[in-house]
Copies of this chain bind each other. A is one copy, B any other.
Amino acid sequence: MELGAAEPPRLSEAIDVLEKHLDSRVFLVGQRFTLADASLSCSLHHFQTKGLATQLPRATKRWLGTCTAHEAFSVVTGTASAPAAAASGASASAPAAPFASAEPLVARYSSCVGGRTHIARIVSSPDKGASLIGQQVSVCGWVKTAREANKGAILFVELNDGSTPNNIQVVIDSKAKGFDSLKGQCGTGASLRCTGKVVQSPGGKQAVELLVVDADDAVVLFGGVDAKEYPLAKKHHSHEYLRSIAHLRPRSNYIGCVARVRAALAQATHEFFRSRGFLYVHTPLITAADCEGAGEMFQVTTMIQDMEKEGKNSLPKGADGKTDYTKDFFCKPAFLTVSGQLSVENYCCALSNVYTFGPTFRAENSHTSRHLAEFWMIEPELAFANITDDMDCAEDYLKYCVKYAMDHNREDLDWFDGQIEKGLVARLENLLAEPFGRVTYTEAGHSMLEVLGML
């Protein structure tokens, strides 16, 4: 670009030169934001302020976004570095994300890979990663999708590490160290470490992306995947199909979101009860008591194995012709509990407010949605309390859990809202906004008869 030439080059030609230069570089000179970037980006800044940035080519647009989001830019232009954050739709009053900015940038216990950053710490932080622009970070995870561009010179990878349902877009240039190892190995499910620089994303889908392009950037393939052989695709899979690949299904969006929300609700449960002075009690699972008299229990025994080991055909019998349980492990019939209630009530009558949170079992062959064979159940027991105290506790607990999930797992809930149950988030917001209605048993019966048209 010769300025002051007899006939100055057209702007579009200058932009072409710039685009070509930036195609394999994060900044104009070297590995960091310099005066060169500040100076040139100021000249081009009016493109952005006039809303013309979308007309700039890809690399130039990304570079300009990265520059104007940089803290140093405000020193030059006298403006705050707000545009990037504002553009991402984040605000200071955003609810606490699971990986708030207070979270260290480098995750603990990741020295093995030279220190990795949780992907949520970037894309799910309140500013959607804007404050990290220009920094070099390493992320590890599994490929959700990968596609080539520029005749194989660039690889676009959506990487996920489970810390958020959202992926980080990684742009890997063929000049980056380790690029060649990805050839034919970077299908969905491949395990990678990507070290690159956080830059403003030219696309509207995400605020930032990771650019692996320079000599000091690198990609490491931990485990390659041949896309043709991999049983999980980008498309929707049925729950039944996912059950047939139980070892891989946690990698589906569905199970991932369920796992994150379930973990959050378990945490909320413990926080809620402990903050109110309830003691957590582990009640026995193997029991001789049929707590609720339901009778649908699984038996726990070592007698069948003993019988099979000895090559016998029948279980030991007593003189009365009945099964001789003195030969069983516990010397009497033993079952899996259908409820921890009986045990935890003993604790309640000694230590006042307590709760259990553990697995429970029902051998119901009905295959209805009523009870799974195995499920986790929360059973609080309140001492010196009546039904009103109990209802207050139940309402507070439900609202605490919903609020916790809304604050910490909004991205997961948004995914459920979009893919599984439209209107979910609005329904949860309504649950938080309104006090619960309370009716007597008689009123409830009356309402039901009305709905059934029997009144």
Contact = CB atoms under 8 A, between A and B. Distances in A.
Interface residues of A, number: 93
A266 interface: yes
A350 interface: yes
Main secondary structure of the interface of A (DSSP, over half): mixed
Contact of A103 (B118, B270, B277, B329): B277
Contacts of A251: 349-350
Interface in A294-320: 297-305, 308, 313-315, 317
A330 B363 CA distance: 10
A99 interface: yes
A220 to B, nearest CB: 10
Given A108-B276, A346-B250, A300 B302 contact: no
A347 interface: yes
Interface stretch (A49-57, A79-87, A173-181, A352-360): A352-360
Interface in A341-369: 346-347, 349-353, 358-359, 361, 363, 365
A75 interface: no
Contacts of A277: 98-99, 103, 107, 118, 120, 163
B346 A247 contact: yes
Nearest to A350: B250
Given A280-B267, A285-B359, A315 B323 contact: no
Contacts of A336: 300
A160 to B, nearest CB: 9
Contacts of A120: 277
A389 B109 contact: yes
A282 interface: yes
Nearest to A260: B279
A31 B269 CA distance: 42
Contacts of A112: 384-386, 388-389
A9 interface: no
Nearest to A162: B351
A392 to B, nearest CB: 6
A398 interface: no
A248 interface: yes
Contacts of A299: 300-302, 304-305
Interface string A35-50: 0000000000000000
A256 B351 contact: yes
A311 B383 CA distance: 44
B323 A384 contact: no
Contacts of A282: 262, 266, 359, 376
Contact of A390 (B98, B109, B222, B376): B109
A90 interface: no
A361 B263 CA distance: 23
A113 interface: yes
Interface of A: 98-99, 103, 107-113, 116, 118, 120, 140-142, 161-163, 191, 193, 222, 246-251, 255-256, 259-260, 262-263, 266-267, 270, 274, 276-277, 279-282, 284-286, 297-305, 308, 313-315, 317, 321-323, 329-330, 336, 346-347, 349-353, 358-359, 361, 363, 365, 373-374, 376, 382-386, 388-390, 392-393, 396
Given A162-B350, A300-B300, A301-B301, 13 more contacts: A107-B276, A109-B385, A111-B386, A141-B352, A250-B351, A256-B350, A270-B270, A285-B374, A286-B373, A286-B374, A299-B301, A299-B302, A329-B373
